[in-house]
Each structure stands twice: as structure tokens, then as C-alpha cells.
């Protein structure tokens, strides 16, 4: 891992979209919220508007603190103690998502793929690669997303096309006749409340290369996620019907098993399963990295890697607890009474409060931001001068990409540089 990893805006967009698609790819909660009928695809489309609205506070804040990582941003707004406290809350959230995603992955694997395999073996199967990726750093995660997410998108498109002949239009009829407007709004809101991937943008955007935009990353990721989500939902409803699909643990995987008739395409679900496994491991590695990164910054420890192993061990122990292996525990993530409200607090309420505090203290915070921006600009200018070849001399290391992040982030005043 480079000391200062570098990612481009498209890699960040694929990381966000890939992580966000795993819940629809798994149990598709939009089928069980709001009207919970054939209009679920309309609920999904409306949810995009709510996602943008709920993500607005975090997006505004990050645009103000472009050269600050997540913990530094909190400390600049709330002070050292308050910033560390808020960062610990997000550590708990990232760890909870890491544990919950691990639980969902293992339970679905045992239901559909490895029925007789013990729980601990399946856990190790997903934990070990996730740990390795998380310890390899943000750059490795971003590069993996570049390969994994296009494959996931390809499987979604292929299964949609292959299943067209089996789809029945009457499964989405009558449109809006059985749904009240408030049911659509409620369903869209709770569907949007599950979108926690704005935190990925806030955490990993500090590694964006010069000239790359976090806003472009966000809206591109939302476009990829929205189109893919729509294809998954509408294809599943048209083939299985909403009434049947919402009874399934993994509706889209069941959909993939129904397409293709008796020929070779009948076994295409293995590619769907592979895409789901790879996407799940990518999501696990992202949240493992974020949880360990928060602890690393809060404790000022020498390395983020150190925290990946104990957090993974703790997640393993939690998932091995007897009550975690009950279907009732899995149902909590499908319902709108628990998980969406938790995400809403983390992804909207806390950022909104941070934004309000920032606006109140803007005059005292602005010099800190200006000082950091100037320090980063000076570091970039120094780097450009160092790599600029002298007249008449051949450039050294001509194959090196100057956009790679060998430009150190300027530390806050009074702090020493730390490994990113």
C-alpha cells in the first residue's frame, strides 16, 4: 500500500454503487416496505430523490472540508473531544454494518449455496479475504471495485435480457391503483434511509487525485446504483410477481434460477452467486477499513492495519452467538423499524447537526480550513517543482504518473504527519 493512496472519481463511484447494490441484490427490502405490492418499482424510483435529500448535509460538509479526513473534519467542527466522540459513534456504525453484512452473507450462503456447511467455516470464507483487502489499503479496495462492480453490472444486465421471454407484464398491473400516495412516499423514504454509502464518499474522497471531483463521484455512483436497482426490481417483479418475490430470502437469486429454460442458461445462477459473493466481500472490506481507520485516527495509533484483525475477530465472535443465527435476527434487517432508523440517524441526523454547528462557528472554523488548503496547495506546488525536469535534462522516472498520490496531505497545525 502506498503511504498516500490514490483513487480516481470513477473508482470511488464504483465503490459506492457496488456497496449500495448488495442489499437489493440480497433481500430486496423495497418489496416489503410502503405499499409492498406491484408498485415497488415506483417506490424505488422515488427513493432516489429522498437519497439525494438525506445525503445533502454530508455532501455539503465534505465540499467545505475537501482536504480533511473524516475525523479531522469532526474535530475542526466540534473540537478534539467532541470530534473524537462523534468519530467513535461512526466507528460503532461501521463495525455494526461490517457485522450485519457478514451475518447476511453467511446466512444466505448456508440457505442457497452451502446448506450443510458449518457457520464458522462460512464466516472464515468471507472474513479472511475481507481482512486481507482492508489491510492492503484504500487503493487496493478502489482497484478491486474497478473489476468487481462491472462484473456485477454485467450479470444484472445479462439476467434481465435472458429473462425477458419469461416476464409477464400483468405482474406490474394495475399501476398505482392499489397504492396510496402516502404509502409510496413512506416506502421511498424508508428505502432511501437504508442508503449509508454516503459515508464511503466522505471517508475515501480524501484519497481522490487532483482534479477529480467528489460530486461527480457521488452522482455517477447514484446513477449506476439507480439504474441497476431498477433493473433488479422490475425484472424480479415481472417474473416472480411482487407477492411471491417478497416471501423469498433472496428474490433476485431466485429470479436467476428461473430463467433460461432447460438449456445451458439454466445454470447461469452460478454467475449471479459469484457476483453476489464478490460484491459482499468488497462491501465487507470497505466497512472493515472505515471502522479501523476511525479507530486509528481517534487513538493516533501507528497503523490502521492493526485494528482490522481485532475488529474482524470480534465480528466473528458476535456472529457465532446463538441468537445471531436465528431467522428472527435476519428479519430485523428486512423490517423498517430498526435498521433504516439507525442509518437515518448516522447518515442524516448527525451530519445535519454537524452542518448546523459549522454554520454557527463558521467564522472561527474558516481560518482552519484556509490554513489547511494553503498547506495542501504548497505541498502540491513543491511536488510539481520536484518532478519538473530541468531545461536540457531528460526527466527522471518518466514512467511515473504525476497524478498518483505521492503528495502528502498537510497535517493540521501542531500535528505531525501520520500514515494514511
Looking at the predicted structure, is the pLDDT value of residue 400 above 50?
no
- pLDDT band at 391; cut points 50, 70, 90: low
Residue 281, judged by CB atoms within 10 A of its CB (0-12, 13-18, 19+), counts as buried
Q: What is the pTM of this model?
A: 0.87
CB atoms within 10 A of CB 403: 13
Looking at the predicted structure, is the pLDDT value of residue 295 above 80?
yes
| CATH number of residue 31's parent domain | 1.20.1740.10
C-alpha cell of residue 373 = 488548503
Residue 3 lies in a domain: no
Give the separation between CA 130 and CA 134, rounded to whole angstroms.
Answer: 6
Looking at the predicted structure, is the pLDDT value of residue 414 above 50?
no
- Residue 419 is predicted with a pLDDT of 39
Tell me if 2 sits within 8 A of 406, measured CB to CB.
Answer: yes
Give the separation between CA 48 and CA 218, rounded to whole angstroms.
Answer: 12
For 211-223, the pLDDT digits (tens) are 889 999 999 999 9
Residue 166, judged by CB atoms within 10 A of its CB (0-12, 13-18, 19+), counts as middle
Residue 403 lies in a domain: no
CB atoms within 10 A of CB 85: 13
Give the separation between CA 46 and CA 240, rounded to whole angstroms.
Answer: 22
C-alpha cell of residue 328 = 428472527
CB atoms within 10 A of CB 81: 9
125: DSSP letter: H
Percent with pLDDT over 70 in the chain:
88
CB atoms within 10 A of CB 134: 29
Tell me if 316 sits within 8 A of 127, measured CB to CB.
Answer: yes
Residue 301 lies in a domain: yes
Residue 146 lies in a domain: yes
Give the separation between CA 279 and CA 114, rounded to whole angstroms.
Answer: 18
Residue 330 lies in a domain: yes
- Residue 19 is predicted with a pLDDT of 93
348: DSSP letter: I
Domain count, the chain: 1
List the Cα angle 177/332/353 in 5-degree steps.
90
Residue 410 lies in a domain: no
208: DSSP letter: B
For 87-126, the pLDDT digits (tens) are 999 999 999 999 988 988 888 888 777 777 888 898 999 9
Tell me if 279 sits within 8 A of 22, measured CB to CB.
Answer: yes
Give the separation between CA 125 and CA 419, rounded to whole angstroms.
Answer: 30
For 331-389, the pLDDT digits (tens) are 776 676 678 889 999 999 999 999 999 999 999 999 999 999 898 888 878 877 777 76
- pLDDT band at 264; cut points 50, 70, 90: low
* Higher per-residue confidence, 285 vs 162: 285
What is the secondary structure of 83-124 as a DSSP string? Answer: HHHHHHHHHHHHHHHHHHHHHHHHHHIIIII-TTS-HHHHHH
Residues contacting 248, CB < 8 A, separation 6+: 240, 254
Adjacent-strand bridge partners of 270: none
Residues contacting 319, CB < 8 A, separation 6+: 99, 102, 103, 106, 119, 123, 325
- What range defines the domain where residue 207 resides? 9-387
Report the C-alpha dihedral over residues 138, 140, 145, 150, rounded to 10 degrees: 150
For 174-212, the pLDDT digits (tens) are 898 888 999 999 999 999 998 999 999 999 999 998 888
Give the separation between CA 255 and CA 77, rounded to whole angstroms.
Answer: 48
Residue 420 lies in a domain: no
Adjacent-strand bridge partners of 7: 208
Q: How far is CA 60 from the centre of its chain?
A: 19
Is residue 318 within a helix (H) or strand (E), and if so which, with residue range? helix 305-320
CA nearest neighbour of 355 among 154, 97, 55: 55
Amino acid at each position: 500500500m502506498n503511504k498516500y493512496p490514490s483513487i480516481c472519481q470513477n473508482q470511488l463511484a464504483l465503490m459506492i454503487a457496488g456497496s449500495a447494490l448488495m442489499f437489493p441484490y440480497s433481500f430486496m427490502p423495497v418489496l416489503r416496505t410502503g405499499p409492498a405490492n406491484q408498485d415497488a418499482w415506483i417506490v424505488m424510483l422515488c427513493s432516489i430523490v429522498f437519497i439525494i435529500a438525506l445525503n445533502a448535509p454530508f455532501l455539503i460538509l465534505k465540499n467545505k472540508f475537501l482536504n480533511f479526513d473524516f475525523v479531522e473534519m469532526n474535530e475542526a467542527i466540534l473540537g478534539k473531544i467532541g470530534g473524537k466522540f462523534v468519530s467513535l459513534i461512526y466507528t460503532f456504525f461501521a463495525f455494526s454494518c461490517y457485522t450485519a453484512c457478514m451475518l447476511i452473507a453467511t446466512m444466505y450462503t448456508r440457505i442457497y449455496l452451502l446448506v450443510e456447511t458449518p457457520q464458522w467455516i462460512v464466516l472464515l470464507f468471507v472474513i479472511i479475504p475481507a481482512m486481507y483487502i482492508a489491510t492492503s489499503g484504500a487503493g487496493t479496495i478502489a482497484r478491486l471495485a474497478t473489476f468487481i462492480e462491472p462484473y456485477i453490472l454485467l450479470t444484472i444486465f445479462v439476467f434481465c435480457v435472458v429473462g425477458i421471454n419469461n416476464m409477464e407484464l400483468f405482474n406490474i398491473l394495475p399501476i398505482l391503483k392499489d397504492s396510496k400516495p402516502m404509502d409510496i412516499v413512506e416506502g421511498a423514504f424508508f428505502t432511501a434511509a437504508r442508503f449509508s454509502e454516503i459515508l464511503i464518499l466522505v471517508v475515501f474522497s480524501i484519497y481522490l487525485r487532483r482534479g477529480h471531483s467528489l460530486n461527480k463521484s457521488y452522482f455517477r455512483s447514484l446513477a449506476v446504483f439507480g439504474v441497476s436497482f431498477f433493473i433488479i426490481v422490475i425484472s424480479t417483479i415481472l417474473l416472480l410477481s411482487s407477492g411471491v418475490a417478497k416471501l423469498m430470502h433472496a428474490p433476485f437469486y431466485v429470479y436467476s434460477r428461473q430463467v433460461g429454460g432447460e438449456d445451458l442458461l439454466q445454470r447461469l445462477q452460478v454467475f449471479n452467486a459469484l457476483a453476489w459473493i464478490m460484491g459482499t466481500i468488497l462491501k465487507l472490506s470497505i466497512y472493515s477499513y472505515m471502522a479501523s481507520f476511525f479507530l486509528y485516527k481517534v487513538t493516533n495509533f501507528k497503523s490502521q492495519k492493526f485494528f482490522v484483525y481485532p475488529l474482524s475477530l470480534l465480528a466473528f465472535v458476535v456472529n457465532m452467538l446463538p441468537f445471531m443465527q436465528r431467522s428472527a435476527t435476519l428479519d430485523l434487517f428486512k423490517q423498517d423499524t430498526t435498521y433504516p432508523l439507525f442509518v437515518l440517524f448516522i447518515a442524516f441526523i448527525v451530519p445535519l447537526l454537524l452542518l448546523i454547528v459549522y454554520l454557527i462557528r463558521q467564522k472561527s472554523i474558516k481560518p482552519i480550513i484556509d490554513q489547511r488548503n494553503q498547506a495542501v496547495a504548497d505541498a502540491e506546488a513543491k511536488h510539481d517543482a520536484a518532478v519538473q525536469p530541468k531545461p536540457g535534462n531528460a526527466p527522471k522516472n518518466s514512467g511515473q504518473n504525476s497524478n498518483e498520490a505521492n503528495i502528502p496531505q498537510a497535517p493540521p497545525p501542531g500535528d505531525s504527519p501520520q500514515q494514511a
